[in-house]
Structure 1
Amino acid sequence: MGTRLEVIGLKDIQEFQQLYKQNWPKYCQEYYCLDNFVEFLKKQPHMRNIDMYTLDTKQARDEGLFVIVDRYQLFVGCLNNSSGLARTALDLLDWSTGLKCSSVPSRHMDALDSVVESKKLDLVFRDCTNLFYMKAEDALKLKVEPPVGFVLKSLSVADAPLINEEWPNHHVGSLFFIERQIRLCISAGLYQEDTQELVAWCIRSQGGFLGTLQVKDSHKRRGFGSVVTREMAYRIAAQGHDVMALVNPCNKPSSEMFSKLGFQVIDQCYWLRTEPTSGEFTWPEGE
């Protein structure tokens, strides 16, 4: 009998997470990805449409191999990317509906590219992002007071439609994603004090990164992106976590902002979207 995918649960990923503390911050992507899903499952033990796997071998567990499919997004991690474990697990997955491989550490890209090639999967995109990183002790120094006339506070689910509409990457199913992240993760919004208009925001993504960082067009070039970034970094660090962000190398303004705040590039992560192999598939709105 050949190697198979094995379904895992909360206890498994909690054990795997501890393995990724070694050689810090080399495996910070895997550690914080698992940290977020651990917290998700603690808050909502029966979350729908999240499937988590390893391989049915002792080596896979020793190496902390995991593949998580969250609706249409795929996350993968493994301590030893030269063992072929990630390649085997990815090959055994069902790719028929298309998957968005998200924030994949560069060390796993040979395995992922090999699966894409062998299965003859068509790609929608394949993008590289720089991983900006800051230690918690440094992020705690970023606490900032809001500009005069504005207030900083956590986002509300009621803000989700606006955030989704303004988000350049919005798609069918993304409203559900934003609502869920607001409910379950750290977030920060900058609001105009008199009208309570939301003008800038940031939400922690499933992978543990600063995500959906955005400023409304009407309020750009006033430093508001830096304000919510500093607030988010502080909030994450206040929980004892280091802080990560992913920025496309072509996005010079964001790269310069993170560098100016003291973040350092320590790795690259990739985003890769595959086309469905069995006809068009659209993720249902509301899921």
Structure 2
Amino acid sequence: MCPQLEVIGLLDLQKFQGLYKQNWPKYCQEYYCLDNFIEFLKKQPHIKHLQLYTLDIKQARDEGLFVIVDRYQLFVGSLNNSNGLVKKALDLVDWSSGLKCSSIPYRHIDALNSIIEEKKLNLEFTNPTDLFYMKAEDALQLRVESPVGFVLKALSVEDAPLVNEEWPNHHLGSLFFIERQIRLCVSVGLYQEDTQELVAWCIRLQGGYLGALQTKECHKRRGFGSVVTREISYRLAAQGHDVMALVGTANKPSSAMFSKLGFRVIDQCEWLRTKPTKGEFTWPEGE
């Protein structure tokens, strides 16, 4: 009998997460991806358009195999990448609306590429990234004082339109995503003290890594990107988390910044987006 996708829930994610502690930090991508979705479900048990799967066989559960489809984003993880189960699970996913395959650990990229080839899926983009990593004990040393005339604090939902507008990856439906991340995840903004203008920011994204790191154009080249990166890393470490960031292999300035702060590259991840197979589809605002 051929394995099929099986819907899983919070307790399953918690059991799977424990499996990824072995050989640390080899599986830190899977561990922290699950960590975020576990926290999401604790805070908001009925998140709209969130689908959680494994395969309906014991081996898949023993290996912590999961596929998460969060609106239009897909995350996948497994302790084993050589037995064909990751490919089988991806084959059973509905690709018709197009999916943004987010932070896919490089060990699973062959399985993903096979699905794309066999299903003849067209790509909007593909982007290899380096996985920068720092232990919590080291990130605790990164805390920095706010620059004179500025204050560091968590972002508010009211900041979401600006963060979304300045984000190079913004698209129809991304405002909802930014708002949700601000509500449910650790974030840091640097604000001008007298006007409360937001000038730089960083958010922890669903995969558990730092993202949407941005400085407003008129405030660039003042080191503010490093300031918010240091502060959000410290805040995550204060919660007991190691810190991860994904940087495009061609993004030399960001790579240099993370290296200077003491992060080290321990792996690679792939980002790619498939085009819809049944006509154009976009996520409307509010969903």
Check whether TM > 0.5: yes
Give the equivalent residue in structure 1 for 2:61: 61
Q: Hey, what does 2:181 align to over in structure 1?
A: 181
Structure 1 residue aligned with 2:8: 8
Q: Structure 1: 5+ residue runs without aligned partners?
A: none
Secondary structure in 2 matching 1:98? coil
Aligned counterpart, 2:43: 43
* Alignment correspondent of 1:77: 77
**What residue in structure 2 maps to residue 231 of structure 1?**
231
CA distance in 2, matches of 1:163, 1:56: 40
| Cα deviation code 1:231-279 (max 9, x no counterpart) | 0000000000000000011111110000000000000000010000001
Q: CA deviation at 1:203?
A: 0.4
Q: Give the aligned partner of residue 22 of structure 2.
A: 22
Equivalent residue number for residue 87 of structure 2: 87
Which residue of structure 2 aligns with residue 169 of structure 1?
A: 169
Q: Deviations over 1:104-137 (max 9, x none)?
A: 0000000000000000000001110000000000
Distance 1:167 1:54 in 2: 32
Q: Return the offset for 1:149.
A: 0.1
Moved over 4 A (4+): none
State yes or no: 1:151 paired with 2:151.
yes
**Counterpart position of 1:216:** 216
Residue type of the alignment partner of 1:100: K
Partner residue in 1 for 2:254: 254
SS at 1:42 equivalent: helix
Cα offset, 1:186, TM superposition: 0.0
3-state SS of 1:272 partner: strand
The CA RMSD measured in Å over matched residues stands at 0.4
Q: Which amino acid aligns with 1:120?
A: K
| Cα displacement string for residues 35-67 of structure 1 (whole angstroms, at most 9, x for unaligned residues) | 000000000011110000000000000000000
The residue number in structure 2 matching 1:107 is 107
Equivalents in 2 of 1:2, 1:254: separation in Å? 45
Q: How many residues are paired up?
A: 287
- Tell me which amino acid in the other structure corresponds to 2:176: F
Mapped partners of 1:176, 1:264: distance in 2: 32
Distance in 1 (alpha carbons) for counterparts of 2:2 and 2:266: 37
- CA-CA distance at 1:285 after TM superposition: 1.2
Instruction: Give the 3-state SS of the residue equivalent to 1:141 in structure 2.
Output: coil
In structure 2, list runs of 5 or more residues that go unmatched.
Answer: none
Secondary structure of 1:171's partner? coil
How much has 1:83 moved relative to structure 2?
Answer: 1.1
Report the secondary structure of 2:140's partner residue: helix
Amino acid of the residue matched to residue 36 of structure 2? Answer: N
Per-residue Cα deviation, 1:146-168 (whole angstroms, up to 9, x for no partner)? 10000000000000000111111
Return the alpha-carbon distance in structure 1 between the equivalents of residues 255 and 60 of structure 2.
Answer: 36
Q: How far apart, in 2, do the equivalents of 1:263 and 1:2 lie?
A: 43
SS at match of 1:142: coil
CA distance in 2, matches of 1:135, 1:6: 34
Mapped to 2, the partners of 1:206 and 1:65 lie a distance apart of: 18
Q: Secondary structure at the match of 1:267?
A: strand
- Alignment deviations for residues 192-223 of structure 1 (CA, whole Å, 9 cap, x no partner): 00000000000000000001000000000000
TM norm structure 1: 1.00
Q: SS state of the match for residue 127, structure 2?
A: strand
In structure 1, the partner of 2:117 is 117
Return the offset for 1:4. 0.4
- State the Cα distance separating 1:3 from its structure 2 match: 1.0
Aligned mates of 1:80, 1:228 — CA distance in 2:
36
Distance 1:229 1:18 in 2: 28
| Secondary structure of residue in 1 paired with 2:29 | helix
| CA distance in structure 1 between the aligned counterparts of 2:108 and 2:142, rounded to whole angstroms | 32
CA offset digits 1:153-193 (Å, max 9, x no partner): 00000000001111111000000000000000000000000
Q: How far apart, in 2, do the equivalents of 1:236 and 1:85 lie?
A: 33
Structure 2 Cα separation of the partners of residues 149 and 6 of structure 1: 53
How far the C-alpha of 1:2 sits from its partner, in A, is 1.8
